[in-house]
Structure 1
């Protein structure tokens, strides 16, 4: 018999529909039942690509013994954190206050009035050495609820107070200036792993936005070390096991410090955040020509192609994730042995592939090999006189053959095909940038289709909804959804100047400031609207997590739309929000990557590039030069395309030069003479920010 999750939109919740646990989705029905029966709530939060969520399901939620105890003593509620980040964030604050750490699956015990009184993450069944068993935890908590209610209430009061204090903490306002940027760069470099790239020790996450910050600061302050660190990090990631060498796209994170062994889930938002970092490195690759054995554009293109091949949906949106597990085994789809290579390839190509991708008899991970590219192999090619470009071409052809084979013969990882608004917004922006930087219209076509889909299916009565699945909208969205999409639309507009993109971005921003605005213009935005689901606290979003926070996304969306439309009220609001986040940027830069991008933009110099030509085709060489140069605080406008909604002052006086296409580079109120040579335009844009 299916439980109440069978009719939910979330694929993660549906995965639990056949559990013997009598799951409820988040909602009033569960809390009313708990109150009527005087039972505590067991809240389990996870997501479809979470490996340990699947482990806990197999061990505990499919266990008749565990299910019987849960059903008798609790009302059990299952939440997809990707659909309800508000629920996840509030109760994660409680778990972290209680235990000092957090993660998924998250397991929290609530009173029927939604106050948390105990929690943790994964508990095994049966117990393991050093880890209490889940059934033991359930038994102990049920006893406390029945026999020691005063202790449960005291714990609930304390945890709820902690959650409210965290949610209502005033912004750490201060100066947002060049010193803030300089100090943030210094702290980021102190966290840098100089040997293996990235930041900190294992497990190691990409930190894509922080890499983009370092590129800007290295250029602004004429410091080569940050730029070299970005080059090293992206190069090692692109060659490592965290990047899918055969199918493209990045796995979530590396369990080791050397980017070899990932948790194999692939999240849409990681692709969306890494593509711009790779593209910016691509525009700077002349700064570090020996850092990559292939240009960063190759990994950017491979990632975009992966998204278009594996995550794009028939209706136009992008799926949320691909799972880490297949057939109950983590990474099974992605690992290889030499014998498996020989089944697909000729003997000669199999030997070449084994060397090229580190596929060895003993394996580099649990007896098998995660494909990766070793730097030593490149050096061997050079030493033995192999034509490196020919070897690169051969390697790419072999990778494509192995990808096709695994897709046709192996069980594919489960795809979570719900559409998440904020992640789609980030991907729309990334694809817009890729279309321009790589001169590939496929990416802009896909991004435009996704934007139209979100407008049609998720934008309803002035509210952007969080998710979509099988023709059904999810709950009203959050600040991050509104402003990630607005930011992405502004990026896409620069690659495909469709007036409806600017119009939609304007609607989103105006509605979002009203729905999520804080008590003062400087205060961080609220994650939720005032009329959203009641929770123990209404949180503001002052920091970034795995994805940028709503306030940070609002800052950059406001800045870009202001630059394109001339709305100074939006620029002023962005400046005030930056002031409210200045303390976070100064003290905790690893939690403030996206706000630092906004601060770098605000400090300028901001550049406007207007290209005048008789037709869009005529201006193509200048357009490619503008988008192919590292100028992170620039907007690019093609005056020959449809400029409806664009600030007229931006276009005034921008004409062809004696009939030739011409580019005008404006900084502040000063514009360059017309530039007709693409190389001269690149040189002009490549000047440091100062």
Structure 2
């Protein structure tokens, strides 16, 4: 039988460089147990790939996408840099991720080009990095590109010396020269000439950029106190840039995270400023109506390329959807608008249906690109429709109804096809169609389900099946909060299953691992992994009322403090003592599309302090806030999620305890129903039965001590700083207490 090794051909221009371990290729292919389908245009008549490089030995979906490029790729590691030193070659570090559209474009245009590959192989050492596996490497070299005054993004391509110090970089480079710019091959030639002719200049650039990276990856030091932070000043920045027609911030592209809706909702809850509520409502409404939201399948695409949320970049990321599910849940609680609850449910359904792994964790992302019926790879083709396709899937009457309601017109709004979106509200459509609004809503829900099933018959976008601890922590939070707010225990069970997976399969030697692929966990956990999983476990404790989740969150919190805390200046580093030492050690200080590990970790410490009363946790949180005080005062928008922690501490969080009679947890349900009706972001929740359960809880949660139920009903306690209002066994009285604070 023919094997991969039988068909191996030397990579062009790679003479003088040790060949990949060819004998390992076939062993690995057989061990993986899948049919061999190389993703490359360089195919032999028998269907085998013409080229195979070292990336075939990796497990990252992104690296495996490049395993059959003619480029002599190395994975990140000392082997590549040692070879660069021996051969005195510059190193190209190319960073991306599996569902990155422009990464695919650059691969097809440049890294599959044999002439470009031959030049790279002859004059460079080329390294491929999955940014989702190595966020520390990505952050260092993305910062280098920013230090050069360039805009970052992926693919990220950085040229470094063998000592790993960068001297030039950028993002996507087209293969050929264009008016005003060099193509990738010309750039490779120019950089090689400079490296040979002016090594001193290259060395000086590397030193200067490395110093800039170290400065940029550390918080600005100053004399400000975090207690001086004005949340209103931060909100004013968003008021000034608010898009009062479409929601979000003015301009394009539009990312959901660019306007911190949780902060607006908290400031509204505190101040009663209805303009802040209106900003949040409009943004939530317009995003859910736009093409950025997958109207047929649920869930959000990564961002919109236009100002009206209509034309998305079609990737779907686990982290975006987990975070947006929580935001829509908070929007529902703050406004009472049931459509926000519906969107939250649909996001969670999408994640469970399309992204949940059989073992219980969640996969990372799906691609923007998919195959056309003709076999061409195109962006968005899976998610878009024509009127004829709607009629084929739904029949003429319902197909025309969906076309009217979701903006499907002749010629479409995206490359001849249509992205489903809503230009008008359901109420307006119901009036035009002379249908009761509720009836129209049910009809459209049925149609969306049929479209989802019809669409599933198309070639599916690639799914990145890495399971990342950090992003799974966000998903655990989303499902736990969804189950609590929407009164859906099944969602809490999904959160518990995911948490069980992470704690069982992604813990080794008492330490959290970063990713899980092909049946094994790998990579030391980063700050984000610990912080997000801790937050998820706290949310799961509050939703399930099971003490074990709080116990595990406290264990992980202690481990995170031990590994990542800056004991001199406060705050937390991205990497710990078990990680590879890079040219700079980052202390994350920016909340972007994903909150920084520091922002989430500070909130964890505050919440756990409220629950346990452990003063050390409060001290650690205070030191961390002090480390970022200058940035919080001068550039609060850069740490919008850390502002939530500031708000939590400034408002004095509420302590909600519900005690049910022994063995009768169901008697707490009326009080939980009252609790769900109130938007109460700065609080902790403990639900416990009297007897042994309460005694066990009191070991960790002193605030439950001395609290009792009545003989046949639960009793609710609303407290601050362990000082409680009058206990009540009446749920409406409890609701009034919650509303009045």
After TM superposition, the score normalised by the length of structure 2 is 0.89
The aligned counterpart of 1:239 is: 289
1:421 aligns with 2:465: no
| One of 80, 97, 103 as aligned partner of 1:30 | 80
Could you tell which deviates more after superposition, 235-244 or 277-286?
277-286
The aligned counterpart of 1:678 is: 731
Report the CA distance between 1:130 and its aligned residue: 3.8
Counterpart contact for 2:71–2:120, Cα < 8 Å: yes
Alpha-carbon distance in 2 for matches of 1:259, 1:645 = 46
| One of 248, 260, 284 as aligned partner of 1:210 | 260
| One of 639, 643, 657 as aligned partner of 1:610 | 657
User: Relative to structure 1, is the Cα distance of residues 155 and 648 closer, same or farther in structure 2, using a 3 angstrom cutoff?
Assistant: closer
The aligned counterpart of 2:546 is: 498
Counterpart contact for 1:187–1:589, Cα < 8 Å: no
The aligned counterpart of 1:382 is: 431
Counterpart contact for 1:9–1:469, Cα < 8 Å: yes
The aligned counterpart of 2:419 is: 370
Alpha-carbon distance in 1 for matches of 2:713, 2:434 = 46
Report the CA distance between 1:173 and its aligned residue: 5.4
Alpha-carbon distance in 1 for matches of 2:687, 2:258 = 29
Report the CA distance between 1:440 and its aligned residue: 1.3
Could you tell which deviates more after superposition, 170-179 or 652-661?
170-179
State the Cα deviation string for residues 504-543 of structure 1 (Å, max 9, x = none): 21111111111111142x5331111134212111111122
The aligned counterpart of 1:330 is: 379
Q: Secondary structure at the residue paired with 2:719? A: strand
User: Which has the higher relative contact order, 1 or 2, with Cα contacts under 8 A spaced 6 or more apart?
Assistant: 1
Counterpart contact for 2:158–2:168, Cα < 8 Å: yes
Report the CA distance between 1:81 and its aligned residue: 0.5
State the Cα deviation string for residues 358-397 of structure 1 (Å, max 9, x = none): 1111212221110012225631423664210110111111
Report the CA distance between 1:436 and its aligned residue: 0.4
1:473 aligns with 2:526: no
The aligned counterpart of 2:502 is: 454
1:666 aligns with 2:716: no
Report the CA distance between 1:152 and its aligned residue: 1.2
Matches within 5 A, 1:283-302: 283-286=333-336, 295-302=339-346
1:551 aligns with 2:590: no
Counterpart contact for 2:656–2:684, Cα < 8 Å: yes
Q: Secondary structure at the residue paired with 2:679? A: coil
Alpha-carbon distance in 1 for matches of 2:653, 2:425 = 42
Counterpart contact for 1:184–1:585, Cα < 8 Å: no
1:404 aligns with 2:448: no
User: Relative to structure 1, is the Cα distance of residues 168 and 592 closer, same or farther in structure 2, using a 3 angstrom cutoff?
Assistant: closer
Alpha-carbon distance in 2 for matches of 1:130, 1:393 = 55
Counterpart contact for 2:407–2:418, Cα < 8 Å: yes
| One of 557, 570, 574 as aligned partner of 1:527 | 574
Q: Secondary structure at the residue paired with 1:375? A: coil
Alpha-carbon distance in 2 for matches of 1:514, 1:657 = 43
Counterpart contact for 1:56–1:123, Cα < 8 Å: yes
Q: Secondary structure at the residue paired with 2:740? A: coil
Alpha-carbon distance in 1 for matches of 2:705, 2:573 = 39
The aligned counterpart of 1:357 is: 406
1:584 aligns with 2:631: yes
Matches within 5 A, 1:259-278: 259-278=309-328
Alpha-carbon distance in 2 for matches of 1:416, 1:687 = 47
Alpha-carbon distance in 2 for matches of 1:23, 1:368 = 37
Alpha-carbon distance in 2 for matches of 1:435, 1:582 = 35
| One of 658, 668, 681 as aligned partner of 1:632 | 681
Alpha-carbon distance in 1 for matches of 2:590, 2:255 = 17
Unaligned regions of 5+ residues in structure 2, if any? 1-50, 372-376
State the Cα deviation string for residues 378-431 of structure 1 (Å, max 9, x = none): 314236642101101111110000001101x20111110111111111111111
Counterpart contact for 2:484–2:543, Cα < 8 Å: yes
Q: Secondary structure at the residue paired with 1:341? A: helix
User: Relative to structure 1, is the Cα distance of residues 130 and 393 closer, same or farther in structure 2, using a 3 angstrom cutoff?
Assistant: farther
Report the CA distance between 1:675 and its aligned residue: 2.8
Alpha-carbon distance in 2 for matches of 1:56, 1:189 = 38
The aligned counterpart of 2:364 is: 320
| One of 106, 115, 120 as aligned partner of 1:70 | 120
| One of 610, 630, 633 as aligned partner of 1:563 | 610
Alpha-carbon distance in 2 for matches of 1:7, 1:498 = 42
Alpha-carbon distance in 1 for matches of 2:117, 2:354 = 36
Alpha-carbon distance in 2 for matches of 1:679, 1:243 = 37
Alpha-carbon distance in 2 for matches of 1:24, 1:683 = 63
Could you tell which deviates more after superposition, 162-171 or 253-262?
162-171
Report the CA distance between 1:107 and its aligned residue: 0.3
Counterpart contact for 1:609–1:626, Cα < 8 Å: no
1:2 aligns with 2:55: no
Report the CA distance between 1:224 and its aligned residue: 0.9
Alpha-carbon distance in 1 for matches of 2:158, 2:105 = 17
Alpha-carbon distance in 2 for matches of 1:200, 1:304 = 29
1:230 aligns with 2:274: no
Counterpart contact for 1:267–1:322, Cα < 8 Å: yes
The aligned counterpart of 1:542 is: 589
1:655 aligns with 2:689: no
1:152 aligns with 2:202: yes
Counterpart contact for 1:337–1:363, Cα < 8 Å: yes
User: Relative to structure 1, is the Cα distance of residues 402 and 130 closer, same or farther in structure 2, using a 3 angstrom cutoff?
Assistant: farther
State the Cα deviation string for residues 190-247 of structure 1 (Å, max 9, x = none): 2222221012310010017710011001121221111110000000001111110010
Report the CA distance between 1:178 and its aligned residue: 7.2
Corresponding residue pairs, total = 680
The aligned counterpart of 1:91 is: 141
Counterpart contact for 1:318–1:419, Cα < 8 Å: yes
1:391 aligns with 2:444: no
Q: Secondary structure at the residue paired with 2:298? A: coil
Tell which structure's C-alpha radius of gyration is larger.
2
State the Cα deviation string for residues 561-605 of structure 1 (Å, max 9, x = none): 222222221122112212222322233333212101111111123
Q: Secondary structure at the residue paired with 1:638? A: strand
Counterpart contact for 2:479–2:495, Cα < 8 Å: yes
Q: Secondary structure at the residue paired with 1:162? A: helix
Q: Secondary structure at the residue paired with 1:684? A: helix
Counterpart contact for 1:607–1:634, Cα < 8 Å: yes
Q: Secondary structure at the residue paired with 2:252? A: coil
State the Cα deviation string for residues 237-272 of structure 1 (Å, max 9, x = none): 011111100100011000001000110001111011
State the Cα deviation string for residues 55-108 of structure 1 (Å, max 9, x = none): 001101111111111100111000010111100001111111113311110000
Report the CA distance between 1:649 and its aligned residue: 2.8
The aligned counterpart of 2:482 is: 434
User: Relative to structure 1, is the Cα distance of residues 423 and 447 closer, same or farther in structure 2, using a 3 angstrom cutoff?
Assistant: same
